Amino acid sequence: MARMSIPVVRALSVGTPPHQVSQAQSREAVQQLFPRLSQRRTMLAVFENAQIDRRFISRPLEWYLTPHSFAEKNAVYVDVTLELGERLCRQALAQAHITPQDVDAVVFVSSTGISTPSLDSVLIERLGLNRHAARLPLWGLGCAGGAAGLARAADLVRAGYKNVLYLAVELCSLTLVQNDESQSNFVGTALFADGGAAMVLGPDTGHFGEADDGGLLRLHGAFSTLIEDSQDIMGWDVTEDGLKVRFSRDIPSLVSQMMRANVKEALCRQHWKPCEIGTYVVHPGGVKVISAYEDTLDLPTGALDSSRKVLRCYGNMSSATVLFVLNEVLKGNPSGKGLLSAMGPGFAAEHVLVEFPSGGASA
């Protein structure tokens, strides 16, 4: 194995299942599913207030209008995750100009279904990856998983692995529970969507920022914070009908209360200062969460436009969402230091300190 090196992201591919649904169509469907709750104007207003135009889901909208058991939903999760994951991984490997046999480690993040063996083992077979590749499946991180998984993939590069394949796939639409009239389930129908992202990471070869294979960004460190007594803020309750969403309206206030000091501490660990951060890549858990980040960190107007765009065009895809935001940010050819940030079940905050090429780089 190579000596410790600064990890570099060499490729990033994002994608969704094929079925698209507008927010207006989602609202009509929910009125059929939950006629009693839909009579309350404040509940239906969630669909407009979410500021989402469209989302992508794993099955046609009609499929969600009939009951399905946990086993049926999970079977769909396995099929769609493998199909989407294989496509994204092939694209990322091609972008990185490496063969499947070059991969020596695989990180797989997902929290919206279950499988043993974990699905990374199946993808190793399908993709023809090196059978000796180290495997690191991560489950239960939810929305924070995109940042946490990236940090763990970077740790593997620091440990000496040369070509780390990182995949995050979430099929949040499958967590709809038909007979659950809780506010969390109802709000989830206005926010949740399906998507995935694949990345290839490796050590800095000394050509960072060069046109061909210098890398899209460097990863300089990470910072995790688990908030005490916060398990009830977000998560799943496992029921006979599947994974039942649980989340609190306190998330924006948590961002407001802790994020300024938390970000400062994360940067200090790397001897960085807040004034040095020119780009923020933030998981758009919702419009209120985005606004809380902006206000708390005193960000300039437009700093989180990429987060808002991803939310509007894709909804909340849990762990994969922040990687969609990163993909959108890269289109603007950013340069200098940045921070990738997400919060999720635990309740936890995850930050990754990143550096973009001085001349910019295209995804």
Are the CB atoms for 277 and 338 separated by under 8 Å?
yes
Place 220 in a pLDDT band, splitting at 50, 70 and 90: very high
Measured in degrees and rounded to the nearest 5, phi and psi for residue 221 equal 165, 175
Catalytic residue (one of 143, 172, 268, 275): 143
Q: Are 141 and 38 part of one and the same domain? A: yes
Q: What is the pLDDT of residues 324-345, one digit of tens each?
A: 999 999 999 999 999 999 998 8
Residue 177 pLDDT > 60: yes
CATH number for the domain harbouring residue 260: 3.40.47.10
* Total of domains in the chain: 2
What strand order describes the sheet that includes 217-226? Answer: 134-138, 105-109, 164-171, 194-203, 7-15, 217-226, 348-356, 336-344, 279-282
**What's the pTM?**
0.93
Q: Are 14 and 122 part of one and the same domain? A: yes
Q: Is 268 a catalytic residue?
A: no
Q: Are 320 and 258 part of one and the same domain? A: yes
Residue at 81 is within a domain:
yes
Q: What is the pLDDT of residues 40-66, one digit of tens each?
A: 777 788 888 889 999 999 999 999 999
- Enter the tokens of residue 279: 């780009």
- Enter the tokens of residue 230: 């916060």
Residue at 266 is within a domain:
yes
Q: Are 56 and 101 part of one and the same domain? A: yes
Environment class of 67 (CB within 10 Å of its CB; exposed 0-12, middle 13-18, buried 19+)? exposed
Q: Are 177 and 227 part of one and the same domain? A: no
Q: Tell me the C-alpha to C-alpha distance, in Å, between residue 333 and each of 219, 330, 362.
A: 17, 5, 6
Q: What is the pLDDT of residues 118-141, one digit of tens each?
A: 999 999 999 999 999 999 999 999
224: containing domain = 217-356
Q: Which of 149-153, 249-253, 311-315 has the lowest mean pLDDT?
A: 249-253
